[in-house]
Amino acid sequence: MRDTQSSADEHNVAAFAQDNARYYETEFSKIQGKTGFTWSWNMMAAICGPLWGAARGVWGFFWIFLVLELFALVQVGRGLWGELGADQLARVERLEANIAKREAQAAELTAAGDVAGAAEKLKIADNLRNAAEKALDAANSASSAALTILLTGLVLLVALKLIEGLYANYAYEAQYLKWRSGQKVQSGLRRSGIWFGLVGLLAVWPLTLIRFTVAKPEEFVSTLTGGFLGERVTITEFPVGREYFSILAKKGDAGFDWLANNFGDLFDGVTASIRWVLDGLEVLLIQTPWPVVMFVTVVMALRLAGARVAIFTAASLAYLALMGLWELAMITVALIGAGAFLCVLIGVPLGIWFGKSKRAYAFAEPVLDFMQTMPAFVYLIPIIAFFGTGKPPGVLATLIFAMPPVIRLTALGMRGVPESTKEAAIAFGCSRKQLLFNVELPLALPSIMTGINQTILMALSMVVIASLIGAEGLGALILEALQYAAKGQGLLGGLAILFCAMVIDRIAQGAYRRSNRSN
Amino acid sequence: MSDDVITLDGVWKVFGMNADAAMAAIRDQGLGKPEVLKEFGCVIGIADVSFSVKRGEIFCVMGLSGSGKSTMVRHLNRLIEPTAGNINVLGNDMLGLSDNDLREIRARNIGMVFQHMALLPHRTVRDNVAFPLQVRGEPKSRRWEVSQKCLDRVNLTGYEDRFPSELSGGMQQRVGLARALASDPDVLLMDEPFSALDPLIRRQLQDQFMSLSAELNKTTVFITHDLDEAIRIGNRIAIMKDGRIVQIGTPEEIVTQPADDYVRDFVDGISKLKLVFAHSIMVPIGGYKPTRPVNFDESPRAHHGTDLDQLIDIATSTENVIIITGDDGADIGVVDRATLLKGIQGGKA
Task: Tell if the CB–CB gap between B114 and A423 is shorter than 8 Å.
Answer: yes
How far apart are the CA of B165 and the nearest CA of chain A, in angstroms? Answer: 11
Task: Tell if the CB–CB gap between B136 and A443 is shorter than 8 Å.
Answer: no
Question: Mind spelling out the 3-state secondary structure of A247-270?
Answer: HHHHHHHHHHHHHHHHCHHHHHHH
Q: CB of A138 within 8 A of CB of A88? A: yes
Which of A424, A430, A438 has the CB atom closest to B118's CB atom? A424
- Domain range summary for chain A, segments of one domain joined by +: 5-83+147-224, 86-144, 261-518
* A257-314 pLDDT tens trace: 898 888 888 999 999 999 999 999 988 888 889 899 999 999 999 998 889 999 999 9
What pLDDT, on a 0 to 100 scale, did the predictor assign at position B2? 56
How far apart are the CA of A408 and the nearest CA of chain B, in angstroms? Answer: 22
Please provide the CATH number assigned to the domain covering B278-346: 3.10.580.10
What pLDDT, on a 0 to 100 scale, did the predictor assign at position B348? 46
Q: Which of B75, B131, B221 to mutate to test the interface with A (most CBs of A within 10 A)?
A: B131
Q: Which chain A residue's Cα is nearest to B136?
A: A429
Task: Tell if the CB–CB gap between B120 and A442 is shorter than 8 Å.
Answer: yes
Q: Which of residues 73-92 of B touch A (CB under 8 A)?
A: 77, 79
Per mean pLDDT, which range of A149-163, A218-232, B78-92, B98-112 is the poorest? A218-232
Task: Tell if the CB–CB gap between A438 and B134 is shorter than 8 Å.
Answer: yes
Sheet containing B84-89, strands listed edge to edge, beginning at the edge strand earlier in sequence? B43-54, B4-15, B84-89, B92-93
Q: Which of A423, A426, A428 to mutate to test the interface with B (most CBs of B within 10 A)?
A: A428
Strand partners, B51: B8
Buried b (16+ CB within 10 A) or exposed e, B180-204: bbbbebbbbbbbbbbbbbeeebbee
Q: Which chain B residue's Cα is nearest to A435?
A: B135
| CA distance readout (Å), B170 to A31, B104, B111, B344 | 56, 30, 19, 35
Q: Which chain B residue's Cα is nearest to A446?
A: B122
- Which residues of chain A fall below pLDDT 50? 1-8, 519
**Domain covering B53-109+185-268, topology:** Rossmann fold (3.40.50)
How far apart are the CA of A512 and the nearest CA of chain B, in angstroms? Answer: 14
Q: Is B106 on the interface with A (CB under 8 A)?
A: yes
Task: Tell if the CB–CB gap between A519 and B132 is shorter than 8 Å.
Answer: no
Distance CA B41, CA B37 (A): 4
What pLDDT, on a 0 to 100 scale, did the predictor assign at position A381? 87
Looking at beta carbons, which residues of chain B come within 8 Å of A419? Answer: none
Q: CB of A456 within 8 A of CB of A508? A: yes
**Residue range B261-274: average pLDDT?**
82
Q: Is B107 on the interface with A (CB under 8 A)?
A: yes
Task: Tell if the CB–CB gap between B110 and A427 is shorter than 8 Å.
Answer: yes
**Domain covering A261-518, topology:** MetI-like fold (1.10.3720)
Q: CB of A501 within 8 A of CB of A329? A: no
Q: How far is CA A327 from the centre of its chain?
A: 38
DSSP B282: P
pTM for the structure as a whole? 0.73
Which of B106, B122, B163 has the CB atom closest to A428's CB atom? B106
Residues of A with a Cβ under 8 Å from any B Cβ are: 418, 420-421, 423-431, 434, 438-439, 442-443, 445, 519
Q: How far is CA A425 from the centre of its chain?
A: 45
What pLDDT, on a 0 to 100 scale, did the predictor assign at position A9? 60
Task: Tell if the CB–CB gap between B104 and A429 is shorter than 8 Å.
Answer: yes
Helices (H), A113-242: 115-144, 146-180, 191-213, 217-224
- Give the length of chain A: 519
* B231-263 pLDDT tens trace: 888 999 999 998 899 999 998 888 888 888 888
- Give the length of chain B: 349
Q: What are residue A485's phi and psi, to 5 degrees?
A: 50, 40
Looking at beta carbons, which residues of chain A come within 8 Å of B121? Answer: 443
Q: What are residue A70's phi and psi, to 5 degrees?
A: -60, -40
- Domain range summary for chain B, segments of one domain joined by +: 53-109+185-268, 278-346
What pLDDT, on a 0 to 100 scale, did the predictor assign at position A4? 46
Per mean pLDDT, which range of A394-403, B188-197, B318-327 is the poorest? B318-327
End-to-end Cα distance, chain B: 40
How far apart are the CA of A180 and the nearest CA of chain B, in angstroms? Answer: 25
User: What number is the ipTM of this complex?
Assistant: 0.83
Task: Tell if the CB–CB gap between A429 and B120 is shorter than 8 Å.
Answer: no
Nearest by Cα to A479 from A492, A464, A459:
A464
